Amino acid sequence: MHYENEIAKIEYDSTGEKTLPHGVLEWGIAFLLIMLFCIAVVLSCQNYSRTVPSTSEAKIYFIAREGSVSYLEPVIKRIQMSENPYKYLIEALITGPPPATGLMPVLPPTTRVLKVVKSNGMLVVDFSKEVLTDANIVSGSSENQLLCLWAVANTVTQLGDVRRVRILIEGRRRGIVAGKRIENFWGSSPISLDISRNEKVIGKPDLPAWRFVDKQALASKLGWGEVVRGNASEKIIALTFDAGAGIASVDSILEELNEHGITSTFFLTGQFAEKYPEIVKRIAAFGHELGNHSYSHPNFVESGVGKLARELEKTESIVQGLTGISTKPYFRFPYGARNKELISQVNELGYLSVYWTIDSLDWMSQETPDSIRARVVSKASPGAVVLMHCNSPQQKEALPPIISELKSEGYKFVTLTEALK
């Protein structure tokens, strides 16, 4: 009986030795060649990966500005993940943001990176002197200067194994380079301390609407001079409070405004700010706008323009030192006493003179809470600017019904800036 292998029949040569079926040898050789080719490709890829560094997406932080508010926004870039990717991050900061983004640079483009060393979670970056001598290219307000430092810290700490950044200039942290002191990096931002990541400065902050308005541009659009009313095309009204004497009603005013989600404009004297610094900080913390009301509350018509500049500059310095918020460009003359010469001088100092549409007369002792309420409500009109005072005892009882009744009439309460837009 004969049995045949249906898959591959065994053949014999003339000597009687067994031979492989036709085609098997050829397939074996082909398979071996394919395997050799695959091994060569793998080895080639490994060698290529050693010579060409891999890349990764990274966030490079630059300064965004909207109105009077600055913050950090990232630009996504691909960087080489070499042995020292931090150098690529720093160099991307120096290159600056793409023009189309509208973002502001954080390091002068003339800066060179002399050394970048990482050790125990600390990244030491040694910049050339241009980062200090050419800082005017990117510096501005002290807020922006600090944002520049945070931009560096936030950019390099995203890789995870760096927590702090130490900045050197020409290898030093102290001393003078090219006539500029290293300790006063960009004027007012010290680098004597190591800087860490700050998530709070990334992205548009949650702030009152007036903070995102360029108030200097607004004043220019209005032609400077003096304003007595806001935009009359909308049913809005601005409650403004002068703080030049005591604090009889200030707690009640702040609580009432806060309860209704209202932000207003407070005109502060320098003496008030010096005497009640915590109150001023609280006003700012509640999101209210700040204006200048002179330092000592004089009648400038009687005293003349001689002391005007000193009074305004002193108050601006005190208030900004306490709150970080400028009083510019709003100034209200004490007692409303002013003339064309005084208004012109105020404008030259960068301030818009702010009068009022409605005087609540809450500063008069004979006025009652009800008479104050009735006066404001009856005279209310779109865009009206209302004068009130923090030291009026009657205001504790007058303000709640004023807000309630005007709300029922469809009025929206806004700051002076929002009223003038």
Burial (0-12, 13-18, 19+ Cβ within 10 Å), 9: exposed
Distance of CA 305 to the CA centre of its chain: 36
Residue 21 pLDDT class (50, 70, 90 cuts): low
Euclidean distance between CA atoms 189 and 176, whole angstroms: 15
pLDDT at 10: 41
User: Catalytic residue positions?
Assistant: 242, 389
Q: Which DSSP state fits 229?
A: B
pLDDT at 79: 76
Question: For domain 211-420, which architecture applies?
Answer: Alpha-Beta Barrel (3.20)
Burial 39-75 (b: 16+ CB within 10 A, else e): eeeeeeeeeeeeeeeeeeebbbbbbbbebbebbbbbe
How do residues 48-73 score in pLDDT, each as one tens digit?
Answer: 444 445 668 899 999 999 988 999 99
Contact between 349 and 328 under an 8 Å Cβ cutoff? The reply is: no
Give the residue among 270, 252, 284, 277 at the shortest CA–CA distance from 389.
252
Radius of gyration (Cα) for the chain, nearest Å? 35
Euclidean distance between CA atoms 194 and 377, whole angstroms: 55
Using DSSP's 3-state secondary structure scheme, residue 136 falls into helix
| Contacts for 331 with CB less than 8 Å, ≥ 6 apart | 267, 291, 292, 293, 294, 312, 346, 349, 351, 352, 353, 354
pLDDT at 138: 81
Using DSSP's 3-state secondary structure scheme, residue 58 falls into strand
Global confidence as pTM: 0.73
How do residues 27-45 score in pLDDT, each as one tens digit?
Answer: 566 666 666 666 655 555 5
Distance of CA 178 to the CA centre of its chain: 31
- pLDDT cut 70: percent of the chain above it: 83
Q: What percent of the residues of the chain are helix, what percent strand, and what percent coil, each to the nearest 5?
A: 40, 20, 40
Q: How far is CA 219 from CA 104, 325, 386, in A?
A: 24, 17, 19
Sorted by where each begins, the domain ranges of the chain are 55-201, 211-420
Instruction: Specify the higher pLDDT residue, 85 or 139.
Output: 85
- pLDDT cut 90: percent of the chain above it: 69
How do residues 338-374 score in pLDDT, each as one tens digit?
Answer: 999 999 999 999 999 999 999 999 999 999 999 999 9
Burial (0-12, 13-18, 19+ Cβ within 10 Å), 234: middle
Mean pLDDT of 274-292: 96
Both ends of the chain: CA-CA distance in Å?
109
How do residues 166-181 score in pLDDT, each as one tens digit?
Answer: 999 999 988 899 888 8
Give the residue among 384, 390, 370 at the shortest CA–CA distance from 413.
384
Mean pLDDT of 131-138: 85
Mean pLDDT of the chain: 87
How many CB atoms are closer than 10 A to CB 19? 11
